[in-house]
Structure 1
Amino acid sequence: MIATLAIILSFQLVGEIAARALDLPLPGPVVGLLLLVATCILRPSVAERIRPTTLGLLQHLSLFFVPAGVGIVAHWGLLREYGLGLALALAGSTVLAIGAGALAFTAVARLTRSEDPSAMKAPGDD
Structure 2
Amino acid sequence: MKVFRQLAIILAINFTGELLSKSLSLPLPGSIVGMFILLILLLTGIVKEAHIAETADFFLEKMPFFFIPAGVSVMVAYQFIEGHLATVLATILLSTLLVMIVSALVAQLIIKKKNDD
| TM-score of the two chains, using structure 2 as the length reference | 0.67
Tell me the equivalent position of 1:50: 52
Which residue, out of 80, 83, 87, partners 1:85?
87
Cα separation, partners in 2 of 1:17 and 1:45, compared to 1, 3 Å? closer
CA distance in 1, matches of 2:35, 2:91: 28
CA distance in 1, matches of 2:25, 2:56: 29
How far does the alpha carbon of each residue in 1:60-81 deviate from its partner, in whole angstroms, 9 at most, with x for none? 2111211111111111212323
Tell me the equivalent position of 1:107: none
1:34-113 aligned at under 5 Å gives the runs 34-43=36-45, 46-90=48-92, 94=94
Gaps of 5+ in 2: 102-114
> What's the offset of the Cα at 1:47?
2.0
CA distance in 2, matches of 1:58, 1:90: 22
| TM-score of the two chains, using structure 1 as the length reference | 0.63
Which residue, out of 27, 30, 34, partners 1:28?
30
RMSD, aligned α-carbons:
2.7
Structure scoring higher RCO (CA < 8 A, sep ≥ 6) equals 2
Cα separation, partners in 2 of 1:45 and 1:30, compared to 1, 3 Å? closer
> What's the offset of the Cα at 1:89?
4.7
The structure carrying a bigger helix percent of its residues is: 2
Aligned residues with identical type, % of pairs: 26
